[in-house]
Chains A and B, each alone.
Chain A
């Protein structure tokens, strides 16, 4: 079982926190912080799970997700989306685009860890 997660996020402190949480769960955590090249990074690294921030420089999370789902290879890839924007429309749009799980910041650590576990189990 591969435990390889790609964290796409531009806030250093949040990266630090998630890396800490998931490493303890046995995940290999890679990070990427630029929106424009995010899809290429996913193609290249082929992680088992993607955690995607909504507000990214260059390209927002929703567009990255849409592009990802249009590529046949990544239809099944679990994507956990995080957002700090407080709008309910964002959730609807993300669900339409094929998000696996949608979470609003600030999240509780347990929430994130549980969600990651669930997603991996579902995918299997």
Chain B
């Protein structure tokens, strides 16, 4: 017989293996090599957390007690998966579209992003699922104790073992469940670990099954005979339970927080669902195939009174198959741990997003805008929630005594979470469903569940007295907890299912019909129900009040600065706005809200944005869209919306153009002064010195010569200015003849550098990489050279670094060649960058001698040549990028 210590050693080794698997999966995912990590098989296997230790051990026990009834627990989910087209498809699509992080988030988002609703769902989920976590801890410790031999003669400490298991699970969940904040970023490590565990538990159960059928019974035929001869050899079902449990398991499959986590949140591709639609039922089939044989053999071989829940372990042990029993133990261990990890992760997400974060935000009076880094808070909240939930599970295990009361908790927990079903299905299929309806339904269903299922489960005399069961509270017989309204004789589970779900649905429907939804609810309702019809989002924010800076600050704190900046930059590029900050349009706010929702849940994200936008969350257009139900009007308003977006984009462009014009007009005045200055200054010298030469008698030869030289120089200066002006004017009018020839870029650059350095006013170190310059060009090489000279001269004139440096770099991206002139001077002020290429532009206060025509000429030349020149702020200094004409453009010249 294996000692407990050996077993613990095996378990630890297994856990280390899981850690390693999760670690390497995360690493691979980070490097972008998802590969088989994102395969539909992994998705299918991850769904197997439906099969917990309760189903691993319990199914056999269940079969030994009640025959085939155990199978209903698998039939419901199989039907849901096979009918994926009806519900799951929509659920997954909505979950992905809304970036839902949990069931609570989904329900809250549907009903107007109500945090109250999210809190109610969260509380219900915690109450419903915590006992289930306790059940897992119990099953692992119980299975360990099987190996420790008869009770009494060992020092095996069950609560101690449970404690260490809880600690290990908490550690794993914290490590791999809260690595990245955004729940939609998915937990690759966790998913891969539970997929591995899914394989282990399937292999374990099937190994025991095969051993039982072929090793003990001697084949399929004899096995069938033994089944028929066993105490459960005849068809013997409670018909109401058969129906109710199938329906219940189907409902729970949809509503369980951990199922939502793997099915919707961790879903990477909607097509995986299609494969899981047959693969997961197959998994369930295999999981239940050998349950009856194991139960029958167990009943045969084991002494009367042996716990049938542990047949999976005790039968191989009794046959002396320690290895098989150990494998089986690992299967049960896998079932328990994977369930606890995912359930805890799902609950912790809910608790942190819907309870901790809103509390934290409301406690900070200054609100979302000025708070510190929210990411740390969210991750901390999530980790704390994980510890609290596993802690609760452990406490529940300790105080319930780990007895029979726990064994029943599986079904009771199912009934509890099934209460989400009416609100969830109603929300995604019926636009008339309202927040009040959902809230009432949930509370009614929950109350009935607590009253009829949870509290009675502790047995007579613990919470309810015996007379409470027999006569009802205060002797009111129609309120007896297991026979509401006088309908006695029903099985307690069926009774609880029927009454809680009926009253829940009824309250949900009636209150929904009677109440009127708010605008946001109706918008969300339309989006949920029509998720397949319009993929475009209805807008929810009146964008006028938010500033991009505020939004940016807030987003950085939640998404992290890099991701936030990428998001904003992409939007700015899409809007065609210069700079890094986009206009806070409605569409952008909507997108931003969804991105934030993926981190902190929709209700919190909505609250944070509304703080910035000033609460004006629904615009007139939205109200119009709500008021007109018909699809045509909706379509029309969508088109209006598109048009208004287009208009606002046009307005934006016009505004930019206007700003540019105003700036230009100011620049033009300045230019006229400048040009006047440029013309009059040389003229002043010329006039003054000609007068001196004319009027002064007795000037020496040296002086005469000197003054004539000055006059000569000033006339040349005037001529150059006029040349520039004429050159520009000719280029602008397109009257220029290009002299196209073929030459090497290196030669053109060389010539430009030599020319510029010959006339240099300041020493600038020029760095080049000659290797990159070996490119053949066919264009007007003289004009191109003129551009290069201009840029080099500019750097010589304006680069104010202590050791001025100009780097000339050639970029070649798929044949598109650019030459980059990067200096290390002070970057040009942001407001000046927009106009430096305009012909009247001249950077203020710069003491250059040019009239601000050089860059304008360069731009004109490059346009004529079919290329471009643009400014790029460099890390240190300024960079001018000359995009050389593409070969096609050259051919057209």
Instruction: Check whether chain A touches chain B (CB < 8 angstroms).
Output: yes
Chain A contacts to B: CB under 8 angstroms: 11, 13-14, 16-18, 20-21, 55, 57-58, 84-87, 104-110
- Find chain B residues with CB under 8 A from A104 CB: 680
Asked if A84 contacts B688 (CB within 8 A), the reply is no
Task: Decide yes or no whether B691 CB sits under 8 A from chain A.
Answer: yes
**Pick the contact of B680 from A20, A57, A84, A109 — CB < 8 Å?**
A84
Does the CB pair B688–A14 fall under 8 Å? yes
Which of A13, A55, A57, A58 contacts B710 (CB under 8 A)?
A: A13
Query: Looking across the interface, which residue of chain B has its beta carbon closest to that of A85?
Result: B673
- Contact in complex: B687, A106 (CB < 8 Å): yes
List 8 A-B residue pairs with CB atoms under 8 Å apart, sorted by A's residue number: A13-B685, A13-B714, A17-B684, A17-B688, A17-B692, A87-B672, A106-B688, A109-B695
Q: 3 closest A-B pairs (Cβ-Cβ)? A: A17-B688, A84-B680, A13-B685
- Interface centre among B684, B686, B714, by most chain A C-beta atoms within 10 angstroms, is B684
Whether A85 lies near B714 (C-beta < 8 A) is no
- Check A84/B685 contact, CB under 8 A, given A13-B710, A13-B714, A21-B692: no
Query: Taking CB as reference atom, which chain A residue is nearest B678?
Result: A84
Secondary structure of the B contact surface, majority rule = helix
Is the pair B684, A105 in contact by a Cβ cutoff of 8 Å? Answer: yes
Interface string of B668-700 (1 = CB under 8 A from A): 000011001100111111111101100100000
Interface string of B843-867 (1 = CB under 8 A from A): 0010100000000000000000000
Given contacts A21-B692, A106-B684, A106-B688, 18 further A-B contacts (CB under 8 A): A13-B685, A13-B710, A13-B714, A14-B681, A14-B684, A14-B685, A14-B688, A57-B847, A84-B676, A85-B677, A86-B673, A86-B676, A86-B680, A87-B672, A105-B681, A107-B687, A108-B687, A109-B695
Q: Which residues of A contact B714 (CB under 8 A)?
A: 13
Min distance, Cβ B837 to any Cβ of chain A, angstroms: 24
Given A21-B692, A109-B692: A86 in contact with B672 (beta carbons within 8 A): yes
B685 to chain A: closest residue by CB: A13
- The tally of residues in B whose CB lies under 8 Å from a CB in A reads 22
- CB pair A105–B680 under 8 Å, yes or no, is yes
Cβ–Cβ < 8 Å partners of A110 in chain B: 691
Q: Which residue of A lies closest to B691 (CB)?
A: A109
Q: Decide: B688 and A87 in contact? CB cutoff 8 A.
A: no
A-side contacts of B845, CB under 8 Å = 57-58
Contact B673 A109 (CB under 8 A): no
* CB <8 Å contact, A109 and B688: yes
User: How far, in angstroms, from A58 to B845 measured CA to CA in the complex?
Assistant: 7
Within 8 Å CB of B689, what residues of A? 13, 17
Chain B residues, CB < 8 A from A18: 688
Q: Which residue of A lies closest to B689 (CB)?
A: A17
Cβ–Cβ < 8 Å partners of A14 in chain B: 681, 684-685, 688
Q: Which residue of A lies closest to B677 (CB)?
A: A84
A21 CA to B695 CA, complexed, in Å: 11
B847 engages A84 (CB within 8 Å): no
- Give the shortest distance, in Å, between B845 (CB) and chain A (any CB): 8
A11–B387 Cα distance when bound, in Å, is 78
Q: Are B688 and A107 in contact (CB under 8 A)?
A: yes
Asked if A107 and B673 sit within 8 Å, CB to CB, the answer is no
Q: Closest CB-CB distance, A40 to chain B, in whole Å?
A: 19
Say how far B756's CB is from chain A's closest CB, in angstroms: 23
Residues in A whose Cβ lies below 8 Å from that of B713: 13
Could you say which residues of chain A place their CB within 8 Å of the CB of B692?
A: 17, 20-21, 109
Question: A11: nearest residue on chain B (CB-CB)?
Answer: B681
Report which of A20, A21, A87, A107 forms a contact with B684, defined as CB distance below 8 A: A107
User: B616-657 vs A: 1/0 string, CB under 8 Å?
Assistant: 000000000000000000000000000000000000000000
Nearest-CB distance from A12 to chain B (Å)? Answer: 9
CB distance from A85 to the nearest CB of B (A): 4
Contact status of A85 and B676, CB under 8 A, knowing A14-B681, A107-B687: yes
Whether A106 pairs with B676 at a CB distance below 8 angstroms is: no
User: What is the CA–CA distance of A106 and B847 in the complex, to the nearest angstrom?
Assistant: 21
The residue of chain B having its C-beta at the shortest distance from the C-beta of A82 within the complex is: B684
Q: Which residues of B contact A87 (CB under 8 A)?
A: 672-673, 676
- Smallest Cβ-Cβ distance to B713: which chain A residue: A13
Q: In the complex, what residues of A have CB within 8 A of residue B673's CB?
A: 85-87
A65 to chain B, nearest CB (A): 18
Residues of B near A106 (CB, < 8 A) are 680, 683-684, 686-688
Q: What chain A residues lie within 8 Å of B710 (beta carbons)? A: 13, 16
Chain B residues positioned under 8 Å from A20 (CB to CB): 692
B 707-750 to A, binary, CB cutoff 8 A, 1 in contact else 0: 00010011000000000000000000000000000000000000
The distance in angstroms between the C-alpha atoms of A102 and B686, with both chains bound, is: 20
Are the C-beta atoms of B677 and A55 separated by less than 8 Å?
yes
A110 to B691, CA, bound (A): 9
- Closest chain-B Cβ to A79's Cβ sits at a distance in Å of 19
How far is the CB of A23 from the nearest CB of chain B, in Å?
12
Closest residue on chain A to residue B688 by CB atoms: A17
Measured CB to CB, the nearest residue on chain B to A20 is B692
Instruction: Report yes or no: B695 in contact with A84, Cβ–Cβ below 8 A.
Output: no
The reply to whether B684 and A84 contact each other, CB–CB distance below 8 Å, is yes
- How far, in angstroms, from A21 to B847 measured CA to CA in the complex? 27
Among residues of A, the one whose C-beta sits closest to the C-beta of B690 is: A109
Looking across the interface, which residue of chain A has its beta carbon closest to that of B670?
A85
| B695, A17: Cβ atoms closer than 8 Å | no
Bound complex: CA of A55 vs CA of B842, how far in Å? 14
A contact residues around B677 at 8 Å (CB): 55, 84-85
On chain A, the residues within 8 Å of B847 by CB distance are: 57
- Chain B nearest Cβ from A56, distance in angstroms: 9
Shortest Cβ distance from B93 into chain A, in angstroms? 65
Q: Which chain A residues border B688 with CB–CB below 8 Å? A: 14, 17-18, 21, 106-107, 109
Bound-state Cα–Cα, A40 to B695, Å: 36
Q: Which of B189-246 contact A (CB under 8 A)?
A: none
Contacting residue for B683 out of A16, A21, A85, A105, CB 8 A: A105
B764-797 Cβ-contact flags toward A at 8 Å (1 or 0): 0000000000000000000000000000000000
Chain B residue with Cβ nearest A56: B847
Per the bound structure, the CA–CA distance linking A35 and B692 in Å amounts to 28
Listed residue (A58, A85, A110) with the most chain B CB atoms within 10 angstroms of its CB: A85
Q: How far, in angstroms, from A109 to B692 measured CA to CA in the complex?
A: 8
CB of B884 to closest CB in A, whole Å: 37
Contacts of B672 on A, CB cut-off 8 Å? Answer: 86-87
Q: Shortest Cβ distance from B534 into chain A, in angstroms?
A: 59
With most chain A CB atoms within 10 A of its CB, the pick from B677, B683, B686 is B677
Shortest CB-to-CB span from A99 to chain B, Å, is 18
Take A84-B676, A85-B676, A86-B672 as given contacts and tell me if A11 and B685 are in contact as well, using a CB distance cutoff of 8 Å.
yes
Residue of A nearest to B679 (CB): A84
Residues of the B chain whose Cβ atoms lie less than 8 Å from the Cβ of A57: 845, 847
CA gap between A32 and B471 in the complex, in Å: 111
Q: How far is the CB of B265 from chain A (nearest CB, A)?
A: 63
Residues in A neighbouring B676, C-beta threshold 8 A: 84-87
Cα(A18)–Cα(B691), bound, Å = 12
Q: CA–CA, A26 to B714, complex, Å?
A: 28
Set of chain B residues within 8 Å of A11, measured between Cβ atoms: 681, 684-685
Most chain B CB within 10 A, of A21, A86, A104, A106, is at A106
Closest chain B residue to A86, Cβ basis: B676
Bound complex: CA of A57 vs CA of B687, how far in Å? Answer: 24
Closest B residue by C-beta to A59: B845
Residues of B within 8 A of A21 (CB): 688, 692
* Shortest distance from the beta carbon of A103 to any chain B beta carbon, whole Å: 10
Distance in angstroms from A101 CB to nearest chain B CB is 16
Closest A residue to B675 using CB positions: A86
Residues in chain B near residue A84, CB distance under 8 A: 676-677, 680-681, 684
A98 to B699 alpha-carbon distance, docked (Å): 38
Query: In the complex, which residue of chain B has the Cβ closest to the Cβ of A108?
Result: B691
Measured CB to CB, the closest approach of chain A to B402, in angstroms, equals 86
Chain A residues closer than 8 Å to B680, beta-carbon distance:
84, 86, 104-106
Closest to A53 in B: B681
Q: In angstroms, how far is the closest chain B Cβ from the Cβ of A9?
A: 10
Docked CA distance A33–B269 (Å): 72
Residues of B within 8 A of A107 (CB): 684, 687-688
In the assembled complex, the Cα of A16 lies from the Cα of B688 at a distance in Å of: 10
